[in-house]
Amino acid sequence: MAQRSGQEDPERYLFVDRAVVYNPAQQADWTAKKLVWVPSERHGFEAASIREERGDEVVVELAENGKKAMVNKDDIQKMNPPKFSKVEDMAELTCLNEASVLHNLKDRYYSGLIYTYSGLFCVVINPYKNLPIYSENIIEMYRGKKRHEMPPHIYAISESAYRCMLQDWQMPRDGVQLFETCRCDLLSDLFISHLAQWSAG
Find the CATH number of the domain harbouring 67.
Answer: 2.30.30.360
pLDDT band at 173 (very low <50, low <70, confident <90, very high): low
**Does residue 100 sit within a domain?**
no
The whole-angstrom distance between residue 90's C-alpha and the CA centroid of its chain comes to 7
Helices (H) and strands (E) in the chain, counts: 7, 7
Q: What's the number of domains the chain is made of?
A: 2
Reduced to 3 states (helix: H, G, I; strand: E, B; else coil), residue 90 is helix
Mean pLDDT of 167-191: 56
**Does residue 156 sit within a domain?**
yes
Residue 131 near residue 114 (C-beta atoms within 8 A): yes
Sequence-distant (≥ 6) Cβ neighbours of residue 172 within 8 angstroms? 160, 161, 164, 165
Say if residue 187's pLDDT is above 90: no
Could you tell me the CA-to-CA distances from 134 to 57, 92, 194 in Å, in that order?
50, 27, 9
Mean pLDDT of 33-47: 94
**Domain match, 65 and 130 both:** no
Strand-pair partners of 45: 39
**Domain match, 60 and 125 both:** no
Domain around 128? 10-14+114-200
User: pTM value?
Assistant: 0.80
**Domain match, 72 and 27 both:** yes
Single out the residue in 35, 65, 84 at which a domain terminates: 84
The sign one gets for the Cα dihedral 126, 105, 58, 51 is: negative
**Domain match, 66 and 144 both:** no
**Domain match, 71 and 119 both:** no
Say if strands 115-118 and 121-124 run parallel, antiparallel, or are unpaired.
antiparallel
Mean pLDDT of 174-178: 50
Print burial letters for 123-162: b (CB count within 10 Å at least 16), e (below 16): bbeeeeeeebbbeeebbebbeeeebeebbbbbbbbbbbbb
Say if residue 14's pLDDT is above 70: yes
- pLDDT at residue 49, as a whole number: 95
Mean pLDDT of 156-171: 76
